[in-house]
């Protein structure tokens, strides 16, 4: 009877996936078990992996705290260095490939949200701009102080975990010997850029950029059929479970909870009490042929460096990559150093004198902004221009309406404000015209600031809306 119910559930989920417009993959620690990664839930399993900590009676929750980098740095780096090597030396199971093929076949695309720090989704071929790592990535480093918001990693990973050749780990005593990784900015001890327990020093800049991309993707699939596949998410730290539950309740998405230890509850979820790989293989066997053909014909996205996430370090002779502190820092360095000439479709030449970029509704993980939020963001943009840009009242390009069945505009994640001037004489007494312009745009990591401004200017009628002509 149980097997019959499970088969029916698998068939139901296969139909939902085949009919879906978009796929959200959420993953906790249980996702890696089928790859051969140890399950650290419970002290006994953890102490088998780290007997030295068992002798000291230190649990995973106690060890995964930043204080050890100050109190016992050799033990801290032995623990995290061993985990880095473990994750790099373990191949993601075939379920990662299956999910990627399904996501690539979705009309609205896919996104991954994970609490895992192992980097296995990227290792399995997922483009970085489709992954949100809520707790960071163990293969990125930061300063322990931290002296600055610099995050870096080394590439290619010739040495595990990219340490000097004399770095060695003794697991019997859990001690790292040799030169420990150091901050390239100040020389202080470095640490992995992961969120630990009681961690006030974690630098979340990469996660925030990933979070903005996720919020933008959520906006783009509003009102469409979204299936959420949740893997191995426990209830002790409910970060991943909460994301799926909130979306299923607010946005009519379908949540499928895949976990051998899933329990009955009030959450809006379809439960499959099996491991990730076994479940995915069984679902794949039930998918209709037309969906399987879509998977076979889908063109994979090429992995590439994303400017909003990582910027190449220009220092000669180094393999280090710095991660940009924020979108604002990138825009500032590119915009304020010069003014740009742009030719409008009418042939009129204008100069972009100043640009400001702001990230809208930062921190939103679930749901979508309502009308009041949209109106407040537009008014805040007007107030910003009045305070920081001199000149006329801003011209606002209304945000795009994503849902054709709704008259509520949904703000894309970037807000731009620009001051633009034309020196072409309007009449005998005036030397030109100018405009303060406000608009909202989707994150596009391949687009320059000048391209963002040029795209916005194509949406205005300069001679009707610019001050000088319209005054």
CATH at 26: 3.40.50.1220
What pLDDT score does 288 carry?
A: 94
Q: What is the pLDDT of residue 360?
A: 58
Write the pLDDT tens digit of every residue in 117-169: 999 998 898 988 899 999 999 988 999 998 877 888 744 334 434 444 557 88
Confidence grade of residue 105 (pLDDT, cut at 50, 70, 90): very high
**Residue of higher predicted confidence among 155 and 53:** 53
Of 98, 107, 123, the C-alpha closest to 25 is 98
Q: Give the pLDDT of residue 206.
A: 87
User: Are 393 and 260 members of one domain?
Assistant: no
Least confident stretch, 16-30, 72-86, 178-192, 455-469 = 178-192
Domain holding 458, by residue range, is 327-465
In a domain, 305, yes or no: no
* Residue 283 and residue 342 in one domain: no
Is residue 312 one of the residues assigned to a domain? no
Higher pLDDT, 412 or 166: 412
Locus of tokens 């004198």: 353
pLDDT on residue 56: 83
Q: Identify any residues that bridge with 256 across adjacent strands, giving them in sequence order.
A: 229, 270
User: Within a domain: residue 394?
Assistant: yes
Give the pLDDT score at 161.
40
* For the ranges 96-105, 239-248, 312-321, 399-408, the one whose mean pLDDT is highest: 96-105
Residue 394's pLDDT band, with cuts at 50, 70 and 90, is: very high
Question: Is residue 41 scored above 80 in pLDDT?
Answer: no
**pLDDT range class, residue 401, cuts 50, 70, 90:** low
- Pick the range with the lowest mean pLDDT from 53-67, 118-132, 316-330: 316-330
Please indicate, yes or no, whether the overall pTM of this predicted structure exceeds 0.85.
Answer: no
Least confident of 32-36, 265-269, 324-328, 372-376: 324-328
Q: How many CB atoms lie within 10 A of CB 8?
A: 10
Q: What is the pLDDT averaged over residues 211-239? A: 88
Whether residue 383 is contained in a domain is answered as: yes
Look at the chain and count its residues.
Answer: 471
| Mean predicted confidence (pLDDT) in 306-317 | 35
Decide: 365 and 240 in contact? Cβ < 8 Å. no
Alpha-carbon dihedral 346, 352, 358, 360, rounded to 10 degrees: -10
408 and 288 co-located in one domain: no
Considering the domain boundaries, does residue 85 fall inside one? Answer: yes
* Close Cβ partners of 229 (under 8 Å, ≥ 6 residues apart): 23, 24, 25, 26, 99, 256, 258
Report percent pLDDT > 90 for the chain: 34
Same domain, yes or no: 196 and 112:
yes
pLDDT of residue 130: 92
**Are residues 336 and 237 located together in one domain of the fold?**
no
Separation between Cα atoms, residue 80 and residue 84, nearest integer Å? 6
Question: Does 235 lie in the same domain as 92?
Answer: yes
> Which tokens is 321 given?
């990559």
180 and 254 inside one domain = yes
pLDDT of residue 50: 80
176 vs 449 pLDDT, higher one: 176
With cut-offs at 50, 70 and 90, classify the pLDDT of residue 229: very high
Q: Which two tokens stand for residue 382?
A: 């007007």
CA distances from 446 to 39, 374, 417 (A): 39, 26, 20
Specify whether 263 is located in the same domain as 402.
no
Is residue 30 a contact partner of residue 278, using CB atoms and an 8 Å limit?
no
Backbone angles phi, psi at 271, to 5 degrees: -105, 135
Residue 315 domain-assigned (yes or no): no
Residue 184, pLDDT score: 74
Both structure tokens of 250? 């607010």
Cα 454 to Cα 22: distance, rounded to the nearest angstrom: 31
Q: Are residues 381 and 274 in the same domain?
A: no
Confidence of residue 82 (pLDDT cuts 50, 70, 90): confident
pLDDT band at 1 (very low <50, low <70, confident <90, very high): very low
| Domain edge (last residue) among 255, 277, 297 | 297
**For the chain, what is the HEC assignment?**
CHHHHHHHHHHHHHHHHHHCCEEEEEECHHHHHHHCCCCCCCHHHHHHHCHHHHHHCCCHHHHCCCCHHHHCHHHHHHHHHHHHHHHHCCCCCHHHHHHHHHHHCCCCCEEEEECCCCCHHHHCCCCHHHEEECCEEEEEEEECCCCCCCEEEECCCCCCCCCCCCCEEECCCCEEECCCCECCCCCCEEEEEECCCCCCCCCCHHHHHHHHHHHHHHHHCCCCCEEEEEECCCCCCCHHHHHHHHHHHHCCCEEEEECCCCCCCCCCEEEECCCHHHHHHHHHHHCCHHHHHHHHHCCCCCCCCCCCCCEECCCCCCCEEEECCCHHHHHHHHHCCCCEEEECCCCCEEEEEEEEEEECCCCCCCCCCCHHHHHHHHHHHHHHHHHHCCCCCCEECCCCCCCCCCCCCCCCCEEEEEEEEECCCCCCCCCCEEEEEEEEECCCCCCCHHHHHHHHHCCCCHHHHCECCCC
Question: Has residue 326 got a pLDDT over 80?
Answer: no
List Cα–Cα distances, 395 to 51, 121, 354, 381, 398, in angstroms: 65, 43, 15, 11, 10
Q: Choose the weakest-confidence range: 4-18, 30-44, 59-73, 218-232.
A: 30-44
Measured between alpha carbons, how far apart are the two ends of the chain, in Å?
A: 78
Angle CA 135–140–145, to nearest 5: 85
Half-sphere exposure of 438 (CA within 13 A, CB side): 23
Q: Which residue has the higher pLDDT, 301 or 347?
A: 347
**Which of residues 187 and 7 earns the better pLDDT score?**
7
Q: What is the mean pLDDT of residues 222-231?
A: 93
CA distances from 97 to 10, 117, 452 (A): 19, 19, 35
Q: How many domains does the chain have?
A: 2
Residue 176 included in any domain: yes
| The pLDDT of residue 289 | 95
162 and 86 share a domain? yes
Give the lowest-confidence range in 10-24, 273-287, 368-382: 368-382
Instruction: Give the tens place of pLDDT for each residue, 433-453.
Output: 889 999 988 777 667 778 889
Instruction: Please give the pLDDT value at position 379.
Output: 87
Lowest pLDDT segment from 286-290, 408-412, 438-442: 408-412
Instruction: Tell me: do 277 and 347 sit in the same domain.
Output: no
Model pLDDT, residue 182: 84
198 inside domain: yes
Same domain, 261 and 392: no
pLDDT at 333: 39
């Amino acid at each position: 009877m149980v097997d019959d119910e499970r088969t029916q559930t698998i068939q139901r989920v296969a139909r939902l996936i085949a009919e879906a417009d978009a796929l959200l993959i959420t993953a906790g620690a249980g996702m890696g078990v089928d790859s051969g990664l140890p399950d650290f839930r419970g002290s006994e399993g953890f102490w088998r992996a780290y007997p030295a900590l068992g002798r000291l009676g230190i649990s995973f929750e106690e060890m995964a705290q930043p204080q050890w980098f100050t109190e016992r740095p050799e033990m801290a780096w032995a623990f995290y260095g061993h985990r880095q090597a473990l994750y790099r030396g373990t191949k993601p199971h075939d379920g990662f490939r299956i999910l990627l093929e399904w996501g690539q076949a979705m009309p609205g695309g896919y996104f991954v949200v994970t609490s895992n720090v192992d980097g296995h989704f990227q290792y399995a071929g997922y483009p970085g701009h489709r992954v949100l790592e809520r707790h960071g990535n163990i293969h990125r480093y930061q300063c322990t102080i931290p002296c600055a918001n610099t995050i870096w990693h080394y590439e290619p990973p010739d040495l595990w975990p990219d340490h000097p050749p004399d770095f060695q780990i003794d697991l019997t005593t859990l001690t790292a010997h040799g030169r420990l990784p150091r901050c390239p900015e100040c020389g202080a001890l470095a640490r992995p850029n992961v969120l630990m327990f009681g961690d006030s020093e974690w630098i979340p800049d990469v996660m925030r950029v990933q979070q903005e991309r996720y919020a933008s993707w959520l906006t783009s699939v509003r009102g469409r059929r979204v299936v959420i596949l949740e893997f191995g998410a426990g209830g002790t730290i409910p970060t991943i479970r909460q994301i799926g539950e909130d979306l299923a309740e607010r946005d009519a998405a379908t949540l499928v909870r895949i976990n051998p230890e899933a329990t009955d509850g009030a959450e809006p979820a379809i439960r499959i009490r099996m491991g990730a790989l076994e479940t995915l293989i069984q679902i794949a066997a039930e998918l209709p042929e037309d969906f399987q053909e879509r998977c076979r014909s889908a063109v994979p996205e090429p992995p590439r460096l994303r400017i909003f996430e990582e910027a190449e370090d220009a220092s000669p002779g180094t393999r280090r990559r710095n991660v940009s502190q924020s979108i604002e820092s990138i825009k500032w360095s590119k915009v304020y150093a010069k003014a740009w000439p742009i030719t409008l479709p009418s042939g009129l030449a204008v100069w972009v004198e100043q640009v400001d970029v702001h990230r809208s509704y930062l921190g939103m993980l679930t749901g979508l902004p309502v009308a009041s939020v949209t109106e407040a963001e537009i008014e805040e943009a007007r107030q910003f221009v009045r305070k920081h840009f001199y000149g006329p009242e801003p011209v606002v390009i209304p945000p795009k309406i994503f849902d054709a069945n709704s008259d509520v505009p949904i703000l894309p994640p970037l807000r731009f404000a620009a001051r633009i001037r034309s020196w072409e004489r309007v009449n005998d007494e005036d030397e030109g015209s100018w405009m303060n312009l406000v608009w909202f745009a989707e994150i596009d990591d391949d687009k320059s600031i000048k391209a963002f401004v040029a795209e916005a200017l194509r949406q205005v009628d300069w001679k009707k809306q610019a001050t000088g002509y319209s005054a």
